[in-house]
Amino acid sequence: MRRTSLAILAFLLLGGAIAFAAEFPRYAIHWVRPLDFDRIMLPWNPVQRSAPVSGGDRIYVGTREGTAFAYDLHGNRVWSRALGGAVEADALLVGDTLYLGTVTGSVFALDAQNGDVRWRYFTGHEVLGRPAAHEDRLFVTTGNNQVYALDRNSGEWRWQYARGDDPQLSIRGAAGATVFEGDVLTGFSDGAVVRLDGATGQVEWSQRWTGEAARFTDIDSTPVILGNRVYVVVYGSRLLCMDAASGNMIWSEPVVSHEAPAVAGDRLVVGTLSGELKAFDPATGRNLWTVPVTRTWINRPIMEGSRVFFTDAAGGVGEVDGRAGTLRWRYDRAVSGFSAAPERRGAGLFALTNLGSLYRIHVP
């Protein structure tokens, strides 16, 4: 009788463990690598804004300390390259070339295999937005409301668009560039989204947000395209949906965010300044779910099917079920927090803290 009871108890415990594992998928910290800039330096609250980018068996990061690194998936450093200025914009990997911009105004094209400099172009202004590429052109945005088109292979200047002076009150930042049908779309600090001819830089359309905003009208979020619609965030106040062909406004919804949304299928997911992830219907703007994650801001999430991965300023990295709108897991022991999005590669989730610790988290 006692053996039977023990067997039943063991079965129930095992069943509970299986159910628990099914409800909360396992994750494991595979490795953590310090990138040699964890020493105290100004500012006292350092911010690492450039997210990791992956390609092949490599992970690339540009750092606030002014160095680009390449690691293999096992955490071994492959190369490093001093750039002479902090990297705050996400890098772009195209083929075997890594493109990065610095706050000292330089755009670099590096050989992704060994870190050698292929070319360098000086804009004269902070490069704060993620670049984009189309055919033989590279599009770069700067903090003074300008867009540069450069030859992707040589770095030669092709054309330049200047939006004009900043408003009296604006946030330091710049939206990255997004390519759509060979043209380039980006946002500006005066609340405008502009579509430029990718070959000439001529304005195809310009749409400025003039509705209710919080304190700022800056559009520092890189435009996201789904179908024939473009989605951007007005700093701290609105999520906008516009027609990508004409620029006409389709809908807008309140959301306290400063980051671009993630998109997959029938979901737009935005990380908010108040520590929530919010999902919206891309067609109507209807709020589908809201998941409280932390008490501080969440960076730009990334999506893989219905899985939503995120990092936050409190040092958390985790996953939300994009269908059910439930938190699946969250690791919250990353010292100094995150100010950049994570990167997904295979079963790995890569994230870089403000004090320069590169994490690889195994997430099947």
Q: Over the stretch 211-269, which tens digit does the pLDDT of each residue have?
A: 765 566 888 899 999 999 999 999 888 999 999 999 999 999 999 998 899 998 889 99
The mean predicted confidence, pLDDT, of the chain is 88
Average pLDDT estimate for 89-117: 97
What end-to-end distance do the CA atoms of the chain give, in Å? Answer: 41
Give 12's pLDDT tier (boundaries 50, 70, 90): very low
The yes-or-no verdict on residue 43 having pLDDT over 90 is: no
Which long-range contacts does 99-102 make (Cβ < 8 Å, 24+ apart)? 99/131, 99/133, 99/138, 100/50, 100/62, 100/68, 101/127, 101/128, 101/129, 101/131, 101/140, 102/66, 102/127
Lowest mean pLDDT among 40-49, 129-138, 174-183, 323-332: 40-49
Average pLDDT estimate for 168-179: 73
The yes-or-no verdict on residue 66 having pLDDT over 70 is: yes
Token pair in block for residue 112:
């992704």
Q: Cβ distance 90 to 48 under 8 Å?
A: no
Sign of CA dihedral 15, 17, 22, 24: positive
Strand partners, 291: 277
Average pLDDT estimate for 313-329: 95
Q: How many helices (H) and strands (E) does the chain have?
A: 1, 32
Question: What's the half-sphere exposure (Cβ side, CA atoms, 13 Å) at 149?
Answer: 22
The yes-or-no verdict on residue 40 having pLDDT over 90 is: no
Q: Cβ distance 276 to 298 under 8 Å?
A: yes
Rg (CA), the chain: 21
Question: What does the pLDDT read at residue 132?
Answer: 98
Question: What does the pLDDT read at residue 350?
Answer: 98
pTM for the whole thing? 0.89
